[in-house]
Amino acid sequence: MNEIYSRLAAIIEDVADIPQDDFNEDSSLMMDLDLASLEIMAIIARIEKEFSIKFTEDELLSVETLRDAVEVISAK
Amino acid sequence: MFKFLEALEKYKNECAFAFLDGENKVEVSFEKYYSDVKKCAYNMESIMGPLDGKHVAVIGLNSYEYVVVICALMFSRAVLIPLNFRETQDNLEFAVNHAEVEYLISDASKDYDFGSHVKNLKYADILGGENEKELTDFTEEEADKLFMIVFTSGTTSLSKGVALSIGNIFKEEKIALPEKYSHGFKAVPGFRVYTNFPFYHIGGLLAWVTWAEHGCTMVQSANPMNVLEDLLYQEIDYACVIPATVKLWLKQIRRGNMDRLGNVKIITTAGAPVSVDDVKEIQSHGIAFGQYYGMTECGGNITFNFDMENHIASVGRCYDDGSVEIIDGEICARYWGNMMGYYKDEEETAKVLKDGLVYTGDLGYVDDEGYVFITGRKKNLIILSGGENVSPEELERYLQKNENVKECLVYEDNDRIAAGIFCDEACQEEIQTYVNELNKTLPIYKRIYKLEFQNHEFEKTALGKLKR
């Protein structure tokens, strides 16, 4: 869990230019991190590449917070 | 009439397309492209019979196959209906039925079923083979024939089908970089242009026509989500992108990742307003900036601004062969690209197209040097930085289906969709759950991200309409 979160946080910092200290597992991608839809798509593309996984449409919809994303990745 | 097929022949040794996808990058010459188009035209005629006047819809992600199919359809004289694969099922069904689609051609990613009257074909059915059909350029006599129906967000109803004629697209050469005003950048063979407009959008369709006419190379991400990876180690000259991409790129520049922009020399935006601060920041890194303004109803762009230094907040000046007038504060455009009308919708056409002028719905003014400035919007439409147009009324209709919603008002909040809801306090949770479920049925840009509940009615106009 922690390792996945660290990698995810690094991707978010890299794509959205938000320091990792400014968010945590409970942060909402849209509401707290204020990410635009194109940024979220770019982040997902990076996650898919780095973790060699593919999100289904339903999984994408279920992700609201970073914790949700970590859970989806862990389950793969 | 511009001789498009002649241009494909003329530039046969140039690279027409580069679709970026990591190690699976595909580059195709104009010679191969034209040959593939002719094969596709042959295959389609074998399956569908003569295509002249047939209404054929195409749906799918941007890809090489997509540009082969649409070109084959156009020069087989079919009526092309490009559909947005991200649209809701309701809007797609409306578009297919309203445009009287006979055939639907789609990529392999999804199966569609619009009833037995719409026959389905996949790319695999119509691409490849050996036989080619000879195609001919358009003649002056064909200028007024219906060429394509492009759907855009309506403000009061479902999507509206903009009917464009052959002349609207090919009457004159398409100019993307007007020589006198474009910082010395020229659309010459080999000029590499990156764009991420989808082909179902007039911006994507015209980008393909415009750059192909000049033998330039169109560079695209096979998957638009990879915009930050694909340009690493690539070399591009020009990028025409949505304003949201500029924001994404600026963050990369700030983090020292300039190499993710493919050494771009000039960036232009279209589809939505761009922030003045973003333009200044891009320019401060030695990258030239320009922007276009237009709408599907005008057959694409009507103004361009390559003098952002002196007119930074302007959408630019009109092309030499077009003109802009301000009527009651509204920007109205006269251009040879102006649509024939909304397909089979005289009432809506009469509101927008009057005496050859397209009433854009945008409010603004023109300065002494002919530069157009937008000050507001007359029509009720949300335009997001991703270039998507969203009708608040469409989303309000979905919200009103919940009986606990007494009144609602959809609006833009920080580049995304929010809704104000008048309801009993006890119903708030139920409505939030309803919206969460509703969002799962909507494309990402139409999702409602914020609900503001209130326990009193919204303010109304004298006519009883909600005050926006």
Q: How far is CA A35 from the centre of its chain?
A: 11
How close does chain A come to B236, measured CA to CA in Å?
Answer: 20
Put simply, whether A16 touches B (Cβ < 8 Å) is: yes
- pLDDT tens track for B283-324: 999 999 999 999 999 998 999 998 888 888 899 999 888 999
B227 vs A31: CB contact, 8 Å cut-off? no
- pLDDT tens track for B388-417: 888 898 899 999 999 999 999 999 988 889
SS3 content of chain A, % helix, strand, coil (to 5): 65, 5, 35
| Residue numbers of the domain that contains A70 | 2-75
Total domains present in chain A:
1
Count other C-beta atoms under 10 Å from residue B235's C-beta.
Answer: 10
pLDDT at B119: 97
Q: Which residues of A touch B382 (CB under 8 A)?
A: none
- pLDDT tens track for B103-127: 999 998 889 999 999 999 999 999 9
Residue in chain A closest to B385 (alpha carbons) equals A36
Q: How confident is the model at residue B155 (pLDDT cuts 50, 70, 90)?
A: low
Distance CA B184, CA B180 (A): 8
The chain-wide mean pLDDT, for chain B, equals 92
pLDDT at B9: 97
How close does chain B come to A14, measured CA to CA in Å?
Answer: 8
**Could you tell me which residues are beta bridge partners of residue B241?**
B269
Put simply, whether B353 touches A (Cβ < 8 Å) is: no
Q: Which residues of A touch B449 (CB under 8 A)?
A: 30-31
Q: Which residues of A touch B252 (CB under 8 A)?
A: 17
Residue in chain A closest to B255 (alpha carbons) equals A17
Closest partner residue to A15 among B228, B242, B439, by Cβ? B228
Q: How confident is the model at residue B461 (pLDDT cuts 50, 70, 90)?
A: confident
Put simply, whether B32 touches A (Cβ < 8 Å) is: no
Closest partner residue to B227 among A34, A42, A61, by Cβ? A42
Task: Please report the number of interchain residue pairs, chain A to chain B, with beta-carbon separation below 8 angstroms.
Answer: 55
Of B205, B213, B240, nearest in space to B70 by CA? B205
Q: How confident is the model at residue B250 (pLDDT cuts 50, 70, 90)?
A: very high
Name the amino acid, one letter, at B82: P
- pLDDT tens track for B55-111: 999 999 889 999 999 999 999 999 999 999 888 888 899 999 999 999 999 998 889
Question: Residue B309 contacts by C-beta under 8 Å, 6 or more apart in sequence?
Answer: B283
pLDDT at A1: 55
- pLDDT tens track for A11-64: 999 999 999 999 999 998 877 888 887 888 899 989 998 999 988 877 777 788
- pLDDT tens track for B371-389: 999 988 887 888 888 778 8
Q: Is B156's pLDDT higher than 60?
A: no
Put simply, whether A32 touches B (Cβ < 8 Å) is: no
Put simply, whether B251 touches A (Cβ < 8 Å) is: yes
Of B71, B386, B32, B25, nearest in space to B221 by CA? B25
pLDDT at B139: 97
B248 vs A34: CB contact, 8 Å cut-off? no
Q: How confident is the model at residue B460 (pLDDT cuts 50, 70, 90)?
A: confident
User: Residue A14 belongs to a domain with what CATH number?
Assistant: 1.10.1200.10
Residue in chain B closest to A17 (alpha carbons) equals B251
Closest partner residue to B245 among A16, A38, A45, by Cβ? A38
The chain-wide mean pLDDT, for chain A, equals 88
The label of the residue with tokens 């978010």 reads A12
Q: Is B356's pLDDT higher than 90?
A: yes
Taking the model in full, what pTM does it have?
0.88
Q: Which residues of A touch B242 (CB under 8 A)?
A: 38
- pLDDT tens track for B199-245: 999 999 999 999 999 999 999 988 888 889 899 989 999 999 999 89
Q: Going from the N-terminus, what domains does chain B have, and what CATH number goes with each? A: 4-375 (3.40.50.12780), 391-454 (3.30.300.30)
Put simply, whether B232 touches A (Cβ < 8 Å) is: no
pLDDT at B157: 56
A34 vs B223: CB contact, 8 Å cut-off? no
Helix orientation angle between A37-51 and A2-16, rounded to the nearest 10 degrees? 140
> In terms of pLDDT, which residue wins out, A57 or B178?
B178
Put simply, whether A44 touches B (Cβ < 8 Å) is: yes
How close does chain B come to A72, measured CA to CA in Å?
Answer: 17
